[in-house]
Amino acid sequence: MDAAAVAGLKPLGLVAPGTVVNTMKGDADERRAGGWLEWDGALDGLKAALLGIPFDGASVVRSGSRGGPDAVRRGMMWYTTFSSSDGRGMDAFKVADIGDVLVTLTDMPATFDRVSEAITGLVARGIVPVSIGGDHSIAYPCMRGVVRALGAGKRLGIIHFDAHHDLRAAHLGAESSGVPFRKALETLPEAVLGRNLVQIGMAEFTNSPQLADYARAQGVTVIPGRGLRHGGMTEAVKRALAIAGDGTDAIYVSVDIDCIDQAQAPGTAAPNPFGLDLRDVQEALRMIAGDPKTVGLDLVEISPPFDRDDMTGRAGASLVLSFLYGLAGRA
């Protein structure tokens, strides 16, 4: 409703539709995350941008992650911009949900070109893209877009949270959601080096020795999920930032929701009973976003058809907010 229409309701003692029951709008004393992310249509002044990439055409196990962006958006209605632990909010940090990339499920190359173009445009403007997939194949065009924005001769470090390596050459001869990081290493060899790729959360009994051998041969640092229970997430993130940032110009973060234990994130193609604690990954993203080299994030594989009461969508929203809070705290 426009301002005039809203004003016309007041003599009748009414409010605009949805104000009472729609917690995304909230009351005047709260700054709900959903309202905070509303976009005025201008890119000028934005520090970060939420971008939906509803593509799951590369899923080979179970599709459904095309609904991931909207699941995260629904999740935002439950949260505000205020940190209870720090006693401060991030209202002044300018961020917006700028919509979705146009996706054609039957045309992966064209879709990926549009993804890369959008990411390049944002990074070139100094805006941090927060991309919500979609399956994990979308990480490749996101990384490619960042590399193009950085320009020739620049290098990109990567921190990758996942239950799986995603270092396949192919899946039964075709490109799949399990190939993005090998594809980046092999098609962007001047910009993405194995020694600057850190993989965190690899789960028990979900990977193969061939992929572990490939990671080792490329110089990839792998921090399995089981090891985190002994060494802790904080130390792992400090190590990851040092490795991903060594000699690089920027750091990119990719999070597959299946790195989280299935008790906290059941709505995904490959639920993980060996997974990480959601709270540890929330803290990790705060830390990583606080590093001035960090220029982008993707969050993938949230699949609403397999979720329970939007648990995984809300988990995803919490991860996005944690990352944005880290960005906001840089100043």
pLDDT at residue 171, as a whole number = 72
Identify the weakest region by mean pLDDT among 9-18, 41-50, 115-124, 321-330: 9-18
Q: What DSSP letter does each residue of 159-204 carry, written as one string?
A: EEE-SS----S-BTTB--TT-HHHHHHHHSTTT--GGGEEEE-PPT
Check residue 57 and give its pLDDT: 83
User: Could you tell me the pLDDT band of residue 19, with boundaries at 50, 70 and 90?
Assistant: low
Q: How far is CA 315 from CA 60, 175, 207, in A?
A: 24, 28, 24
How confident is residue 298, by pLDDT bands cut at 50, 70 and 90?
very high
Q: Map residue 305 onto helix, strand or coil.
A: helix
- What amino acid occupies position 33? A
187-231: pLDDT as tens digits: 999 999 999 999 999 999 999 999 999 999 999 999 999 989 888
Q: Residue 331: what pLDDT?
A: 62
Strands (E), the chain: 48-53, 82-83, 88-89, 95-100, 128-133, 156-161, 197-200, 221-223, 250-256, 294-300
Tell whether the model's pLDDT for residue 64 goes beyond 80. Answer: yes
Residue 21 pLDDT exceeds 80: no
Residues of the chain within CATH 3.40.800.10 domain(s) are 31-328
The whole-number pLDDT of residue 169 equals: 79
Identify the sign of the CA torsion 103, 106, 108, 110: negative
Tokens at residue 200, please?
Answer: 């965190």
- Tokens describing residue 156: 């990109």
**pLDDT recorded at residue 269:** 92
- Tens of pLDDT, residue by residue over 94-105, are 999 999 999 999
117-172 pLDDT tens trace = 999 999 999 999 999 999 999 999 999 999 999 999 999 999 999 999 998 877 76
The structure tokens 């944005």 sit at: 324
CA distance 131 to 272: 22
pLDDT digits (tens, 9 = 90+) for 30-60: 788 998 999 999 999 999 999 999 999 888 7
Number of C-alpha atoms within 13 angstroms, CB side, residue 234? 0
Q: 1 pLDDT exceeds 80?
A: no
CA angle, 184 then 186 then 190, to 5°: 80
pLDDT at 12: 78
Lowest mean pLDDT among 12-26, 199-213, 218-232, 288-302: 12-26
The region, left, alpha or beta by phi > 0 then psi within -120 to 50, assigned to residue 215 is alpha
Average pLDDT over all residues of the chain: 92
Q: Which residue has the tokens 């990439």?
A: 53
The pLDDT value given to residue 80: 94
Q: Considering the chain, what percentage of its residues have pLDDT values greater than 90?
A: 81
State the virtual CA torsion across 52, 275, 212, 195 in degrees, nearest 10.
60
Contact, 67 vs 308, CB < 8 A?
Answer: no
Class of domain 31-328: alpha beta
Closest CA to 182 of 140, 219, 141, 151: 140
The encoded tokens of residue 241 equal: 């930032």
